[in-house]
A and B are shown apart, each in its own frame.
Chain A
Amino acid sequence: MAGPSSYMFVAAILFLIGAVGVVVRRDLIVILMAVEIMLNAVNLQFLAFARQLGQSEGQVFVFMVMVVAAAEAAIGLAFVLLLYRTRKTINVDNINLMQG
């Protein structure tokens, strides 16, 4: 049975993949998916610790994170739709009316 260290390692890798995805991908939908990967990395780590500590607080946290992730996805997709309707693009590079 692997210890929490290996879970932490996997979670770190997942989190990095997500974070890099957020920073480098241009497509808004892929970016939303990358955020979900980051949140899932967190969930994995919470569950590993909850298991190691033998208590339920971490598991409760995971449920809350899932709810938040769902809400975020709803809002994010709404923004994607809105932008596509008004600007015909979902490429983040094209979204910079405001700068300086």
Chain B
Amino acid sequence: MDFRVGLVAVEVALSLLALLFILLGAWQRPNTSPTGAWAVAVLALIALGGFSLSSSGIDGVARSFYGLVVSDRLGAFLGLFSLISGLLVLFMSPAYLSREGIHKAEYYGLVFLSLVGGFFMFKAASLLTLFLGLEVLSMPLYVLCGLKRNFGKSPEAGLKYFYLGAFFSAVMLYGISFLYGALGTVNLEGLAALAISSNRHGLMCAFGLALLLCGLAFKAGLAPFHAWVPDVYEGAPTTITAFMATFVKVAAFGALIRILFSLPPDILPVLKPFGWLVAVLTMFAGNLGALYQTNIKRLLAFSSIAHAGYLLVGLLSFNALGQQGVLYYLLAYTFMNVGAFAVVIAFGQRGEENVTLDDLRGMGLRHPFLGVAMALFILSMIGIPPTAGFVGKYYLFAAALSAGMPVLAVIGVLNSVISLGYYLRVLVALFMMPEARAVIIPPKGFGAKVAVAACAVLVLWFGCFVSSPIAAFQGAFSQSMLQPGTIARLP
């Protein structure tokens, strides 16, 4: 056991840059744009992404910092997803932030800090690291949500997120303390000794695990802890909404994977019914809630709840298909969601104007590039082939079937039919309605268009060429710290 700083090189680099950006923000003159900071941020993320990609091929597992941090393929892939999400969000940021008058260097610092937190969650070998990572991820996001100080909804979003976030941090910690008392350690390997029964030890394990998972379920936006999602997504600056919708979901599901797959297999009979119920509730809450929405950001928020439900379906199958499916869907989800929000940004105007379905009427025909791209993202969310969303969903539901949960798979497919009720409204508004606005302001933001184009190409690419990423994701689980004798090694 020694300090192998190389294992946390990405985190160190991100933290240093974050501090630099925050300092820059202090000296930034009013009414200027920190273009230099933006360029540095983009270059840094590209470089770190390359580094992560090269390290995603690593074999074996390396530990450091007295078993607090572990480096393995699973973490490398999740980190890569986060960097992709961060990079795409950075591309669409300058135009949006300048338009809203909040283009400050510390924005990039806060985004980077949040990424650091995510990375520590992915590399957590102990509940302590996991918890700290989660907090480091969350706190900059609270601030970022409230960044548009003069726009009433933004501070409200920040406050709501903070309020519930703090509450659930405490809940999660309380759970961890039970686990610590029962197991005598907070290492993830220690979870393999977890046993649920009616004696004192068993009950402490059960409460601890339940509260811990509830905390993560909150972050992932799973029902019945999903209520914050629509309000926060609607109020937050749109770039941050895109960032939260993708990166936070990756982080929360990454943490769920780490924990669930470290558990001993004999707790499955207790775990599965609860998970089943949560998955069903989440899918219905998301899809039914979205039916009446007219604000696109809110609509996408509800849809992201539903997607979390689909992901949980894959996670609950606890088989290889489910593992591949969850990672694939997280990636697909990142592209289609960031892309959709980028389109919303491109069509939007200062002060969160033009984000309702009525505002989008006829825009698909007037701006074919943005319209077709948005249609592609929506089709991917529905799960129409040949898009990445279809492939991901196919894996998730196939996993549920092969795990002997046909009812869950059928409910999932049924939910994707319900989801048509609102996704179609977006398509109809874009392509099948007369234009509503008398004055049409052309969409601005070259960066946002770059993000849209990249997402569109990738959504199609990952819909058409599936084999090699799937093979890589398979390796992510076999080359990870997940221990023998746990759920992860079930046949």
A interface residues with partner B (beta carbon < 8 Å): 4, 8, 11, 15, 18-19, 22, 28, 31-32, 35, 38-39, 41-42, 45-46, 48-50, 52-53, 55, 57-58, 60-61, 64-65, 68, 71-72, 75-76, 78-79, 82-83, 86-87, 92, 95-100
Contacts and interface: CB of A to CB of B under 8 A. Distances in A.
A18 B171 CA distance: 11
Given A35-B166, A57-B180, A76-B162, A83 B173 contact: no
Nearest to A18: B170
Contact of A22 (B157, B167, B231, B293): B167
A60 B171 CA distance: 19
B160 interface: yes
A53 to B, nearest CB: 5
A99 B231 CA distance: 7
B5 to A, nearest CB: 20
23 contacts: A8-B181, A32-B166, A42-B173, A53-B184, A57-B128, A57-B185, A58-B177, A58-B180, A60-B128, A61-B128, A61-B177, A64-B131, A71-B135, A72-B162, A72-B166, A75-B162, A76-B166, A82-B155, A83-B159, A86-B150, A98-B156, A98-B234, A100-B293
A28 to B, nearest CB: 8
B180 A72 contact: no
A26 to B, nearest CB: 12
B128 A82 contact: no
A31 to B, nearest CB: 7
B292 interface: yes
Contact of A41 (B174, B185, B186, B292): B174
A39 B184 contact: no
B254 interface: no
Nearest to A49: B181
B491 interface: no
Nearest to A62: B177
B143 interface: yes
Contacts of A97: 152-153, 156, 235
Q: Is the interface of B mostly helix, strand, loop or mixed?
A: helix
B177 A42 contact: yes
A98 to B, nearest CB: 4
Contacts of A61: 128, 176-177, 180, 186
A46 B128 CA distance: 12
Interface residues of B, number: 42
Contacts of A99: 231
Interface in B159-215: 159-160, 162-163, 166-167, 169-171, 173-174, 176-178, 180-181, 184-186
B463 interface: no
A71 B139 contact: yes
B174 A45 contact: yes
A42 B170 contact: yes
Contacts of A75: 139, 142-143, 162
| 5 A-B pairs with least C-beta separation | A38-B170, A49-B181, A45-B177, A42-B173, A98-B231
A92 B163 contact: yes
Nearest to A38: B170
Classify the secondary structure of A's interface with B: helix
Contact of B135 (A55, A57, A68): A68
Contacts of B128: 57, 60-61, 64
Given A18-B170, A61-B180, A79-B146, A98 B162 contact: no
Contacts of A57: 128, 180, 185-186
A64 B156 contact: no
B384 interface: no
A72 B173 contact: no
Contacts of B230: 98
A18 to B, nearest CB: 7
B362 to A, nearest CB: 26
Contacts of B79: none
Contacts of B150: 86
B159 A49 contact: no
Contacts of B167: 19, 22, 35, 38
Nearest to A98: B231
Nearest to B152: A97
A8 B170 CA distance: 15
A87 B159 CA distance: 13
A45 B208 CA distance: 12
A72 B169 contact: yes
B177 to A, nearest CB: 4
B174 A15 contact: yes
